[in-house]
Chain A
Amino acid sequence: MGFYDRLMSLDRRWIYLFVAIAVVLPILLEEFGIPISIPPYVTPEAKSVYTFVHKLQPDDVLFLAIDYDPMAMAELHPVARAILRQCFKKDVRVIISALSQNGPGMAEQLISQTAKEYNKVNGIDYVYLGYKPYPGIVIMGMSQNFKLFFPKDYYGNPLESLPMMRKIRSIQDTKGVIDVAAGMVADYWINDGAGRYNYPLALAVTGVMAADYYPFLNSGQIFGLVSGMKGAAEYEYLAEKDGYMKKEDFIANRSMPIQTFAHVVVILFIVIGNIGYFMSKRKKV
């Protein structure tokens, strides 16, 4: 077997080993006092989501849809947390739903932890609606009247008993929607929510899904797009610059050196594999 053929048929466990080294190296360097900090390049689509929240006034109401489950927590929890912190710091009131089937408990944990940090009270500063199945229909219902699908909130309180909900009847009474999603729910928000009722919608999605939503950004159906953990790092970076977060609270930004190193390794292997492919093809000719 020639050298180039061997390059092409490299045992995948070598790739695992090199990726593992790339992932562990930044952590070890940090332990040995050589921290690697890579400030993210802030994309316009992530900045527009940040600017939207930044421009909200105290007592404005934002709808935050936490539509992911623990499997996508790594990529989406940082951005959901950053948005909640930004809102609570600005005294913007938040209505939250969790339309992913395994996500309600995880969302409740995030909300209660963040609310505790800022002394925010359920029913006055935020309302957590919880989960209902069939997201498309629930979104249409919430766009008309929250009580159609959520007569009570997640904790069992009737919606009319919550002071915050006395003047808010539906999503159309809020300033807009930010959907943090890891599945088909983002499509339902575009189709059945903003597409039908014309309220501002932004998405924060996983890296895998991000490429699918750029056409909606170009067509104006969404006003912003936060893509994966990189997008979350950009959001955290902007939030820290304006004082909504501290560097110690960073989650996504901590992963950026690891991400960078791992990507470099992957790119190197792609280059090596392609060199092997073209050279072995040339040799056969």
Chain B
Amino acid sequence: MISYFILNIPSAIPWFDFNRINVLITLAVFFCFLLYFIGRAKKGKSLFIRRIAGLDAIEEAVGRATEMGRPILYIPGIEDMDNIQTVASMIILGNVAKMAATYETPLIVPICRPFVVPVAEESVQQGYLAAGKPDAYDKNSVRYISDEQFAYTAGVNGIMLRERPAANLMFGSFFAESLLMAETGFSTGAIQVAGTANIHQLPFFVVACDYTIIGEELYAVSAYLSKEPKLLGTLKGSDLAKLVIMIILVLGAILITANILWFKNWFFVQ
């Protein structure tokens, strides 16, 4: 086996590529930011994250459903639990379940993947427990529809048309079915709040929904709600990395305009 690989891999591949040392340093700095903030969060130090405007939109949607006496429909996307967006969605679901329990508004959660069902049930149950109403939890609120993308979409559209929820909350990973669901929800007159990190689907949500949580805001919302140290620390670390990138951008533009090349060249990867 070893001789097979020795014969078949070019010998010119170095053990350490010094041309990419800038990538290593950048990576090391970024990891330091993450580890620092995760450490701070674990020690219980307060880490400020601004309140995302989408949270107000979620509360407004839940409030409207309560006023109209109609259910809330929560769609956690079509991916499995290995997708970080589904994980973030489950955290938001717990919070929505708590609000629904507080206001005694029915909650419907259609699920696309079998593995997500127990997690969703747990999130909803925890939400009802946090609101002090564990007996009000209805096991049938979490429903497995279908693994298949458009069969799931047809099922969700059917729920929207039959049960007429007043609020549709769509958080997670969506693909081609996003516009189908958002359009059907729009046609029923429901207030719609959506959030996804799938960039291709964001235009459809922006057009068809009342409020859209864009990309990384989905993770920020889940970090804000859960206060989980790893999530908070990661968010703060990536914020610091973004700040550094913004500074490099402005500084780099100024220096290159002044014909000072060494700064930009340091970041150049061969």
Is there any pair of Cβ atoms, one from A and one from B, under 8 angstroms apart in the complex? yes
Is A48 part of the contact surface with B, judged by Cβ < 8 Å?
no
Tell me which of B10, B183, B199, B270 contacts A144 (CB under 8 A). B10
Is A208 part of the contact surface with B, judged by Cβ < 8 Å?
yes
Contact B200 A208 (CB under 8 A): yes
Q: How far apart sit A208 and B13, CA to CA, in the bound complex (Å)?
A: 37
Shortest A232–chain B CB gap in Å is 20
| Size bracket, chain B contacts | under 10
Is A148 part of the contact surface with B, judged by Cβ < 8 Å?
yes
Chain A neighbourhood of B13, CB < 8 A: 144
Chain B neighbourhood of A209, CB < 8 A: 200
Per-residue CB proximity of A207-225 to B under 8 Å, as 1/0?
A: 0110010000000000000
Chain A neighbourhood of B8, CB < 8 A: 144-145, 147-148
Is B2 part of the contact surface with A, judged by Cβ < 8 Å?
no
Chain B neighbourhood of A144, CB < 8 A: 8-10, 13
Contact B9 A145 (CB under 8 A): yes
Shortest A19–chain B CB gap in Å is 15
Per-residue CB proximity of B246-267 to A under 8 Å, as 1/0?
A: 0000000000000000000000
A interface, over-half SS: helix
Q: How far apart sit A278 and B9, CA to CA, in the bound complex (Å)?
A: 64
Contact A212 B199 (CB under 8 A): yes
Q: How far apart sit A208 and B10, CA to CA, in the bound complex (Å)?
A: 38
Q: How far apart sit A144 and B200, CA to CA, in the bound complex (Å)?
A: 33
State which residues 1-52 of B face A: CB under 8 Å: 8-10, 13
Chain A neighbourhood of B9, CB < 8 A: 144-145, 148
Residue on B nearest A146 in the bound complex, by CB: B8
State which residues 182-225 of B face A: CB under 8 Å: 183, 199-200
Chain B neighbourhood of A170, CB < 8 A: 10
Shortest B4–chain A CB gap in Å is 9
Residue on B nearest A170 in the bound complex, by CB: B10
Chain B neighbourhood of A208, CB < 8 A: 200
Residue on A nearest B20 in the bound complex, by CB: A196
Residue on A nearest B269 in the bound complex, by CB: A195
Tell me which of B10, B200, B270 contacts A145 (CB under 8 A). B10
Shortest B198–chain A CB gap in Å is 11
Residue on B nearest A172 in the bound complex, by CB: B10
Shortest B148–chain A CB gap in Å is 15
Chain A neighbourhood of B10, CB < 8 A: 144-145, 169-170
Residue on B nearest A147 in the bound complex, by CB: B8
Q: How far apart sit A209 and B13, CA to CA, in the bound complex (Å)?
A: 33
Per-residue CB proximity of A159-170 to B under 8 Å, as 1/0?
A: 000000000011
Q: How far apart sit A12 and B186, CA to CA, in the bound complex (Å)?
A: 12
Q: How far apart sit A224 and B200, CA to CA, in the bound complex (Å)?
A: 21
Chain A neighbourhood of B199, CB < 8 A: 212
Chain B neighbourhood of A147, CB < 8 A: 8
Shortest A125–chain B CB gap in Å is 25
Per-residue CB proximity of A1-29 to B under 8 Å, as 1/0?
A: 00000000000100000000000000000
Residue on A nearest B183 in the bound complex, by CB: A12
Shortest A97–chain B CB gap in Å is 17
Shortest B150–chain A CB gap in Å is 13
Q: How far apart sit A208 and B204, CA to CA, in the bound complex (Å)?
A: 12
Q: How far apart sit A12 and B199, CA to CA, in the bound complex (Å)?
A: 25
Q: How far apart sit A212 and B201, CA to CA, in the bound complex (Å)?
A: 13
Shortest B141–chain A CB gap in Å is 31
Q: How far apart sit A60 and B10, CA to CA, in the bound complex (Å)?
A: 22
Q: How far apart sit A170 and B200, CA to CA, in the bound complex (Å)?
A: 34
Q: How far apart sit A12 and B184, CA to CA, in the bound complex (Å)?
A: 11
Residue on B nearest A9 in the bound complex, by CB: B187
Q: How far apart sit A208 and B201, CA to CA, in the bound complex (Å)?
A: 10
Q: How far apart sit A242 and B13, CA to CA, in the bound complex (Å)?
A: 41
Chain A neighbourhood of B183, CB < 8 A: 12
Q: How far apart sit A144 and B7, CA to CA, in the bound complex (Å)?
A: 12
Chain A neighbourhood of B270, CB < 8 A: 198
Chain B neighbourhood of A198, CB < 8 A: 270
Chain A neighbourhood of B200, CB < 8 A: 208-209, 212
Per-residue CB proximity of A133-166 to B under 8 Å, as 1/0?
A: 0000000000011011000000000000000000
Chain B neighbourhood of A169, CB < 8 A: 10
Shortest B21–chain A CB gap in Å is 16
Shortest A283–chain B CB gap in Å is 20
Shortest B270–chain A CB gap in Å is 8
Q: Apart from A145-B9, A208-B200, list 10 A-B contacts with CB within 8 A.
A: A12-B183, A144-B8, A144-B10, A145-B10, A148-B8, A148-B9, A169-B10, A170-B10, A198-B270, A212-B200
- A-side residues, CB < 8 A to B, are 12, 144-145, 147-148, 169-170, 198, 208-209, 212
Q: List 15 A-B contacts (CB under 8 A).
A: A12-B183, A144-B8, A144-B9, A144-B10, A144-B13, A145-B8, A145-B10, A147-B8, A148-B8, A148-B9, A169-B10, A170-B10, A198-B270, A212-B199, A212-B200
Q: 9 tightest A-B contacts by CB?
A: A145-B8, A147-B8, A144-B9, A208-B200, A148-B8, A145-B9, A144-B10, A212-B199, A145-B10
